[in-house]
């Protein structure tokens, strides 16, 4: 909602109001980013991404070996 408001303010040339709206968006984003559940989710997501990357790398190595043989 705030992002849409910010875009509308920019469209109508209300740059000071747009800056205030964008500051509020950034404040809310920071609050959300600092929630323990969000930090834990991002850590878990990073761990899952690392695992998927490791699996993908292993598959690629095996496929290369299979094609070379």
User: Domain limits of the chain?
Assistant: 1-34, 36-69
How does the average pLDDT of the chain come out, rounded?
Answer: 92
**Residue 4 in contact with residue 23, Cβ under 8 Å?**
no
Q: What is the pTM of this model?
A: 0.63
How far is residue 17 from each of residues 1, 13, 26, 31, 46, measured CA to CA in Å?
A: 15, 9, 14, 21, 36
Q: How far is Cα 51 from Cα 55, in angstroms, rounded to an integer?
A: 6
pLDDT confidence band for 37 (50 / 70 / 90): very high
SS3 content of the chain, % helix, strand, coil (to 5): 90, 0, 10
**Residue 21 in contact with residue 6, Cβ under 8 Å?**
yes
């Amino acid at each position: 909602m705030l992002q849409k408001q910010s875009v509308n303010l920019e469209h109508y040339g209300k740059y000071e109001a747009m800056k205030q709206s964008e500051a509020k968006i950034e404040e809310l984003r920071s609050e959300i980013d600092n929630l323990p559940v969000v930090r834990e989710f991002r850590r878990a997501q990073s761990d899952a991404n690392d695992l998927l990357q490791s699996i993908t790398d292993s598959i690629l190595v095996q496929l290369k070996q299979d094609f070379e043989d």
